Structure 1
């Protein structure tokens, strides 16, 4: 037998010495999964000791090791202990690197734990709370990239210098006691546990007289040792070997030797083993033996301690468990995807609200170059719910610029972009919920009044788009044409949804958030609050202190209504011809803008940051929350302009939103089928043009007079 487990001088001449069976650690997969979550979300870089709880069972059949078990509930020291088990209190030391794990001062750690046990023994605290004798240590390193867990378990045991001399060797109580005595012993122990709260008691005193037994807590020893009845020491024993008690007895004997060694020269010990065989309870295999009790003088200092567990090869060293092979690959991928995000919080952004980002449902209108890049960046941020809307098919020019498609997707006329993009996201990461909707978006300047069938189809598409926007939290406008962005802008403004817009030129781009102009509680009593106009321009800076509800949308800088921009286009005008890296830059910035908005306590109502704010204290842990980002790749430069909402905007002005909410599709059909003049007349742009023209004529007349 191993020297540390049975170290009481078994090879030395003289009387036989008592030997002990050491604990074998049993750490189940649930413990490691829980440690993973604790490391990522709570411990982070903290290597200080953490309280944990294990338990040991005394009903295993012969041949099994004495197990100290740690389950997923080990991190809750108040968790319920399984039936017929005793608790053990421990300290977890989780290191940040494998090198730290290897270099950890294990000798000092053991000595510290031994001193704590000795102090509990010497002060008498362990007499009142014997669980203090069952301390353990667990040193770990969690490699969360590979899901390899390195660990070294220690159950500190104090060693008496001369060991424990056996007076009578171990025998089963079935041999020593009569059947009546065995049943009475069992009944008495159950009554003792019931009085103590039903849980098995790790240590107890046994007073016997004839066939009767009674059990008492350790602290009662001074009261009962003077009785004429025989007093024995009981231990709830996890060992399954016929001749050797388990490890928990070691520290108990040190306590007894210190406190009672001067009064008792020899002591009977009963190691209770409570098995269930074929449905019947059996304690007859419990051990009984008698020891010569040494005397330990107070004040002599803490005895030497042992307890580090040997590895699978029988040497002094740690163990390693590889959970990557037994984990569900999808769960493994999900944990790994979130790892980078959680690492960001450890040192860089401790206030980052990841749950707010991950739970955001994103609707991507457009599954082309911008849509593909936005989707990949959203997945990098852990977003789990993404829906694509597009009516195009994948062409041969797409895969090199649009990273969700491959050459095979172009064959046979090409797959639907929206459906193929959703399918590819789920192949990249099965944990994402990705959907594709193959539909076109009705647009101003693209009439739908040719037939009743065309009108019905347009109405269904509008209804579907309204439902999709309602089901999502953030809407990304990533389409090829300006007019295709009009309808979702109107619907999202009406539903008070955050809109992130991205558009490309050849070497320029704009990324912006639309203002949330409605629904702010403190503005409800101010009818002018949602209608910024010339008074706002006079009272506010264009570059700072503009709240989100006063920010403009993509169409607010226009003085004409959107129309058919695809008519009479040459080949280079029909395609979005951009520098290849531009869409990746703009797509990434669109997602980063969304995340920054989500991290701001005001969300979409956040005051817009401008270029002037770059040297100021940022409003969120991630930095600025701009209204617009306009990039110039030829100069490798970005600016952060801020613009107010235009009260005559053809998409988000109060007149347009009110008309849409009042008349629904009837209003939209007029917009689709009419020329520019309908929206311009509605919003007042026509009158504005007339006034401008009149002013120009008047100025020219003055010149002529002069």
Structure 2
């Protein structure tokens, strides 16, 4: 809290208006940009420079009234963050610490105050009200030590006497009805839209029982022509429940000077627009009834205040030591973290960012899906990403796979896994990325042609087991169905969360595998009819076919816990085999609409993040399409089992299906044999026909029983 001397001396402070001063908030990016400007542009030039900051009126209760400067402060004509008001200022960057200390601060304040006063007298402040909220920033940058000295000033012109409150301030719901509050919010949004912005710093308002109108300050005469009551609004960054923020001070002086002879009492709306956990509210806005003092004489500029106090509460500058974080790589890390923290500060306070950032992700496949998943993971701040792929970059890849460029295709093409790691490091040096150029043994692809081949397959299996053990989440992003079998088995055995994404031409499926919570051999599967809850997978591509059946089946099961959810293979009644043999080129490749991989890749990461935010993690109950209108289980929303998308209809459904007790990948019998026999069991799967797994899991018997039942039904039909 702060006010000028005349206000503080009031005999009845509770009836005198006091203002919360701005608190400067300078991000590391601002100092980095100032360093570059000093070295490349300003050099020894100490002339004043125009810069821009912004303030926000939706901060939670208890935060200071912040004016923020970031890396974009030097782009005066650049965009302002959404729902923030720009504040323009003057930078005085000195060449020496002595010059910083001896600069005439009073002269700087008086100069800026006079410009504000001249704008008030001339009417320029009505046309451009942002002049009422200007600032000064005096700096010295010690670029050898990366010590930055600075002092902010927020000029405010004062009255010769205090500003009297006619009554205690009120929150909106004490003065307005719910209908009026809703109309007020809509009127402000309409005013912003008409001005081509998302925040208007000052405005006029009048209201009736069922309507609210707003207009810019410049429309005063026409807007209040027949009005008996005058209400002005200010976009208020203050979070205190009894006091307005600093931007109101110069507005009141403008009102007193322009209309003081006609205006005795004015109603002020301190407009505060918070969004917490996705819900918007302006009900904490304040209403003040103010008696304006006599306007100061126009001949002399009123006295002004505004230099910011230091952290000790005394009048003096501040210093920040950025010697440890001015390295560009460290700056990039802080910037990535800041973007995520803003989500938590403003929208999702309960978001556990550390859990996301510290998650180790294994991406099996570095193609179209793998590239898009990796980029989205980095957007969430994930630092540990590992790629596995045995392909090389071809000329058709760069336009669809955003981690590769044309040069990567030359000379036969770079390894995808290794090139992806290089590109991630260029995008964000703080990432801990690794790449493994290796094959994943698959059912239907024999490995016993020679001892060398068998030994290599065993080494690949051991490496894959090691990688899955070392990571928290496994993404299955390969081209073929059978390549997903081995990592599904290993991850199920090791109780690792698996996120699967697969594409068709204009359809996709993204799903999390059920997370086993009991020892192998103890079935956690549901009833035998769980196999019919979703469709079977297509043999010509990696996306399940018959998605419409899945959509219909989504309502068959509800409230399925994570340990009873099915995996990618639980929908099938045949074992995986060689899906590329005797196939044409279009059947061997996944031919998809170009935007499909970006959508599916992003949703795969978002499912992972939602699972991590749930208190039960991978064991969370699956959300279905029927839950879209219910209270979400996490701060980010639903935690589905599957997302099946139909790009031709621009539609998604959220089916949930039970684990299949005869699944060829995650059923108890398969996990038991894998854990007891290891590679010997796996080699049988690789070298045998698909009937081996079908015999083992009971699918063969199921087929025979189904055929017998069909023959019996036909016999009945013939007898009829």
1:217-250 residue CA offsets vs partner (Å, 9 max, x unmatched):
xxxxxxxxxxxxxxxxxxxxxxxxxxxxxxxxxx
Matched, 1:694 2:693: no
Deviations 1:9-50 (A, max 9, x none): xxxxxxxxxxxxxxxxxx9x9xx99xxxxx9xxx98854399
Q: Is the 8 A contact 1:152 1:317 kept in 2?
A: no
Secondary structure at the aligned position of 1:615 is classed as coil
* Alignment CA distance shift 1:149-1:600 (3 Å): farther
Residues 530 and 657 in structure 2, CA contact (< 8 A), matched pair in contact too: no
What is the deviation of 1:149? 8.7
State which of 535, 551, 555 in structure 1 corresponds to 2:565: 551
Structure-1 residue corresponding to 2:635? 621
CA distance in 2: counterparts of 1:549 and 1:560, whole angstroms: 23
> Displacement, 1:542?
3.2
Q: What's the CA shift for 1:574? A: 1.9
Alpha-carbon deviations, 1:652-685, whole Å to 9, x = none? 0000000000000000000000001100000000
**1:593–1:148 distance in 2 versus 1, CA, 3 Å:** farther
Instruction: Check conservation: 1:98, 1:141, Cα contact below 8 A.
Output: no
CA contact (8 A) 2:151 2:307 kept: no
Question: For the Cα contact (< 8 Å) 1:324–1:332, is it kept in 2?
Answer: no
Matched, 1:454 2:442: no
Does residue 477 of the first structure (1) align with residue 493 of the second (2)?
Answer: no
User: Residues 538 and 528 from structure 1, CA distance in 2 versus in 1: closer, same or farther, beyond 3 angstroms?
Assistant: farther
Query: Is the partner of 1:512 in helix, strand or coil?
Result: strand
What per-residue deviation string (whole Å, max 9, x for no partner) do you get for residues 605-662 of structure 1?
0000000000000000000000000000000000000100000000000000000000
**What SS is found at the alignment partner of 1:583?**
helix
In structure 2, what is the equivalent of residue 678 of structure 1?
692
1:99 to 87, 96, 105: 87
Alpha-carbon offset, residue 150 of structure 1:
5.7
Cα 1:308–1:371, aligned 2, differ >3 Å: closer, same or farther?
A: closer
Q: 1:505: which partner in 2?
A: 504
Which one has the largest radius of gyration?
1
* 1:591 corresponding residue in structure 2: 605
Deviation at 1:151, TM superposition (A): 3.5
CA offsets 1:429-486 (integer angstroms, 9 cap, x no match): 0000000000000000000011111110000000000000000000000000000000
Deviation, structure 1 residue 141: 12
What's the counterpart of residue 361 of structure 1? 360
Aligned equivalents of 1:321 and 1:98: distance in 2? 24
SS of residue matched to 2:599: helix
The answer for the alignment partner of 1:666 in structure 2 is 680
Contact 1:148 1:324 in 2 (8 A): no
> Quick one: distance in 1 between partners of 2:586 and 2:304?
82
| Paired position in structure 2 for 1:124 | none
- Contact 2:392/2:415 (8 A) holds in 1: yes
Deviation at 1:428, TM superposition (A): 0.5
Counterparts of residues 201-600 of structure 1 (less than 5 Å):
327-519=326-518, 530-534=524-528, 542-600=556-614
TM-score, length-scaled by structure 1: 0.56
**Quick one: distance in 1 between partners of 2:697 and 2:87?**
69
Q: Given the two structures, how large is their TM-score scaled by the length of structure 2?
A: 0.55
What is the Cα deviation at residue 305 of structure 1?
Answer: 14
**Deviation at residue 339 of structure 1 after TM alignment:** 1.3
Distance 2:304 2:138 in 1: 24
Classify 1:535/1:502 alpha carbon distance in 2 versus 1 (closer, same or farther; 3 Å).
closer
- Counterpart check, 1:648 vs 2:662: yes
Give ranges in structure 1 of 5+ residues lacking alignment: 1-26, 34-38, 51-95, 108-138, 155-303
What residue number does 1:186 align with?
none
The number of residue pairs the alignment matches comes to: 435
Q: Distance in 2 between matches of 1:703 and 1:542?
A: 30
Residue 705 of structure 1, CA deviation:
1.2
Rounded to whole Å, the distance in 1 between the matches of 2:487 and 2:522 is: 24
Q: 1:326 to 1:485 in 2, by over 3 A?
A: closer
Q: Do the aligned residues in 1 keep the contact of 2:388 with 2:437 (CA within 8 Å)? A: yes
- SS of the counterpart of 2:510? strand
- Decide whether aligned partners of structure 1 residues 576 and 49 sit closer, same or farther in structure 2, where only a CA change above 3 A counts: closer
Give the drift of 1:326: 7.9
**Which residue in 2 is equivalent to 1:16?**
none
Written as runs of structure 1 = structure 2, the 5 A alignment for 1:160-175 is: none
| Cα distance in structure 1, aligned partners of 2:320 and 2:364 | 46
Q: How far did 1:400 drift?
A: 0.3
